[in-house]
Amino acid sequence: MSPLHLLGPVLRALTGLGEWALLLARTCLRACYKWPSRRVILEQMVRIGPASLPVVLLTGLFTGAVLAVQSTQQFKRVEVGTLVGAIVTLSMVRELGPVLTGLMLAGRVGGPMAAELGTMKVTEQIDALHTLAADPISILVLPRFAACVLLMPLLTLLSDAVGLLGGYLVGVHYFGVPSHFYILHSREWFSAWDLATGLVKSAVFGALIASISCSVGLGTSGGAEGVGRATTSATVTSSVAVLVSDFFLAVLLQVQQVKL
């Protein structure tokens, strides 16, 4: 494939990145001087939260259980099996809880959000808002953005809790790790900074999922086929954004922890 063939996809990707950055900046600007009403945000939170809760809890539970299985088997080889609790706790709270919750929401919320706004775009409902001198960002984007940013830390906390429970049940009741040492090492290695790290990541992931999905949805064209493409694009792009941003956030927060 010649470089000229790659020029089109690269230009489209850069255009999409620019549109997303502009939408994110405008959304944050609207939030500074005109916050949506509490009722509107709660409506979006109700639409997002209960539907996402089962898959988030199930993912967290079995992630903690798998962590306990793998950690216990490896740690028993070097006779430090009692440290399993610390590994499960730190892994869930700092990394796996926020990341897996973000990935679940990218599929469960990001795709439908893009499909909803994409349908409004291709049926000219967005144009009707412009005609009525209404701001689509304040009416459509900002409530969804706020709901995702507020909900992600709460869902992450629940995922962490059931993940720690799953790790405890497997480590203590299946592999026979002493309960006292499991809890002792978990408390010894865990700090408030670890919890803050996971919550900051989850809030950023929520902002990325909402802004990317809304940007893709508002840029939809091509009728029903375009809505389908937008749904897939929003899900995939949001998932990749969660993973990429997790790396940079981990480095940034690690540097900040060293400074403190």
* 184 has pLDDT over 90: no
Q: What is the pLDDT of residue 171?
A: 86
pLDDT greater than 60 at residue 4: no
Domain membership of residue 16 (yes or no) is no
- 170: nearest Cα among 55, 80, 70: 70
Q: Specify if 18 maps to a domain.
A: no
- Per-residue pLDDT, averaged over 2-9, amounts to 63
Contacts of residue 101, defined as CB under 8 A and 6 or more positions apart, other chains included, come to: 56, 59, 60, 152, 155, 156, 159, 202, 205
Residue 81 domain-assigned? yes
Whether residue 31 is contained in a domain is answered as no
Whether residue 19 is contained in a domain is answered as no
Higher pLDDT, 161 or 171: 161
Asked if residue 238 belongs to a domain, the reply is yes
What confidence category does residue 113 fall into, taking pLDDT thresholds of 50, 70 and 90?
A: very high
Q: Residue 188: give the domain boundaries.
A: 38-259
Torsion of CA 131, 48, 142, 94, to 10 degrees: -150
Q: Is the pLDDT of residue 167 over 80?
A: yes
Residues with Cβ within 8 Å of 30's Cβ and at least 6 positions away in sequence, in order, are 135, 137, 138, 142
> What pTM does this model have?
0.91
Which residues make Cβ contacts (< 8 Å) with residue 45, sequence separation at least 6?
147, 150, 151
Checking if the pLDDT of 54 tops 80, the result is yes
Percentage of the chain exceeding pLDDT 90: 39
| In-domain check, residue 8 | no
pLDDT given for residue 187 in this prediction: 87
Q: How many domains does the chain have?
A: 1
Q: Is residue 6 part of a domain?
A: no
